């Protein structure tokens, strides 16, 4: 995940250069005396800091790091909020360092150099001994589907590794993958089509009807499907948008009486009621298993969609992430 900057590329601190800033982005200021939890600092942010210090420009730093400008700006803003200081302010066409940035720049440069020399030496990759936290973006119901088997695989094959799940807006996923904030994104993300994003299909899914009675396995008629009250799940993902558009194109209106933001809200609403919900098959199978709900086919042909794992080309060859992607493929990949 870390691409350290060579010390020879980093400039000396710009002491003695006094300029007046025009304006800075809003920063979450830390109260005097507050300390920073070092465990919350992502080393990738220090790489971005070092390159901006060298270039004096977010645009040029982005080019040097192979990042998009939004990804670099996002990383800088995260570090600003963590440290409670603007770090760089725009003066003319240059980003000039603040007093705090001047003070920490040589420390950051030395730290990155030591990591490059003492930590990132070529060596064999052993998943059983490597200590590493994997950061994966997925939905709330995705956690229920993907995490338990993945945790068991980690415990069996990589006991020193850990897993951290993130919920990230689809619009921010590409930048988060590119900056290294997350390692992988699992799910249906048709928007992730950037040139630097790699993807691997795991399986194909479809939509079904979820109801309150497990014994209700019949295929609903169009008439009954339309007359029964519905619960609509409005998640940030693209699955529900797909089925809603599909029904609109087929001119199949529904009596939507309840809208919720999470699939896990459905069991308590559906149990003992006449409500129906249209959800992905894997969601329905999970909720049937844990909440004794009924699953039925749609009274019309369902659109299909592919569940995939996505990662950025910057981390294509990192051994730990290659190993993780293979574990996910083995656990969840299937031919449809």
DSSP helix/strand/coil, 2: coil
Handedness of CA 165, 271, 298, 236 (dihedral sign): negative
CA dist list (Å): 191 to 170, 206, 240, 270? 7, 19, 14, 32
Cα R_g (the chain), whole angstroms: 24
Q: How far apart are alpha carbons 49 and 47 in whole angstroms?
A: 5
Would you say the CATH fold of 204-305 matches that of 132-202+311-332? yes
Pick the CATH number of 132-202+311-332 from 3.40.50.740, 3.40.190.10, 3.40.50.2000, 3.30.465.10: 3.40.190.10
Q: Domain coordinates of the chain in residue numbers?
A: 7-119, 132-202+311-332, 204-305
| pTM attached to this predicted model | 0.62
Mean pLDDT of 25-29: 56
CA dist list (Å): 283 to 141, 200, 279? 7, 21, 6
| Residue 97: how many other CB atoms lie within 10 Å | 23
CB-facing half-sphere around the CA of 12: CA atoms within 13 A: 3
Q: How confident is the model at residue 169 (pLDDT cuts 50, 70, 90)?
A: confident
What homologous superfamily does CATH list for 204-305? Periplasmic binding protein-like II (3.40.190.10)
Tokens of 153: 């695989």
Instruction: Please check whether residue 284 is in contact with residue 277, taking contact to mean a CB–CB distance below 8 angstroms.
Output: no
For 195-210, write each residue's pLDDT tens digit: 889 999 999 999 999 9
Looking at the chain, the whole-number percentage of residues with pLDDT higher than 90 is 62
CB-facing half-sphere around the CA of 207: CA atoms within 13 A: 24
Of 313, 81, 108, 292, nearest to 192 (Cα)? 313
| Residue 120: how many other CB atoms lie within 10 Å | 11
For 227-286, write each residue's pLDDT tens digit: 999 999 988 767 778 898 999 999 999 999 999 988 999 999 999 899 999 999 999 999
Query: What's the CATH architecture for 7-119?
Result: Orthogonal Bundle (1.10)
Of 33, 90, 24, nearest to 57 (Cα)? 90
Mean pLDDT of 116-133: 76
């Amino acid at each position: 995940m870390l691409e350290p900057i060579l010390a020879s590329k980093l400039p000396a601190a710009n002491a003695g250069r006094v300029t007046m800033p025009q304006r800075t982005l809003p920063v979450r200021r830390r109260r005097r005396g507050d300390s920073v939890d070092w465990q919350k600092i992502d080393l990738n942010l220090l790489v971005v800091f070092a390159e901006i210090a060298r270039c004096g420009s977010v645009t040029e730093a982005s080019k040097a790091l192979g990042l998009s400008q939004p990804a670099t700006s996002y990383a800088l803003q995260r570090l600003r909020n963590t440290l409670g200081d603007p770090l760089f302010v725009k003066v003319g066409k240059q980003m000039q360092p603040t007093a705090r940035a001047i003070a920490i720049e040589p420390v950051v440069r030395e730290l990155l150099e030591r990591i490059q020399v003492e930590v990132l030496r070529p060596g064999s990759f052993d998943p059983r001994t490597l200590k590493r936290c994997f950061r994966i973006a997925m939905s709330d119901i995705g956690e229920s589907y993907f995490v338990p088997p993945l945790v068991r695989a980690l415990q069996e094959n990589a006991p020193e590794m850990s897993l951290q799940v993130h919920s990230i807006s689809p619009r921010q996923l590409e930048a988060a993958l590119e900056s290294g904030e997350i390692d992988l994104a699992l799910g249906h993300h048709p928007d992730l089509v950037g040139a630097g994003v790699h993807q691997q299909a795991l399986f194909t899914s479809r939509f079904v009807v979820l109801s309150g009675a497990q014994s209700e396995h019949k295929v609903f008629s169009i008439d009954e499907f339309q007359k029964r009250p519905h619960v609509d799940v409005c998640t940030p993902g693209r699955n529900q948008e797909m089925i809603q558009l599909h029904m609109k194109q087929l001119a199949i209106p529904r009596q939507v009486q309840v809208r919720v933001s999470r699939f896990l809200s459905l069991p308590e609403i559906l149990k003992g009621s006449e409500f129906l919900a249209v959800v992905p098959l894997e969601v329905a199978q999970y909720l049937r298993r844990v909440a004794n709900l009924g699953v039925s086919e749609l009274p019309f042909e369902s659109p299909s969609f592919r569940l995939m794992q996505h990662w950025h080309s910057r981390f294509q060859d990192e051994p730990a992430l290659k190993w993780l992607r293979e574990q996910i493929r083995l656990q969840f990949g299937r031919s449809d």
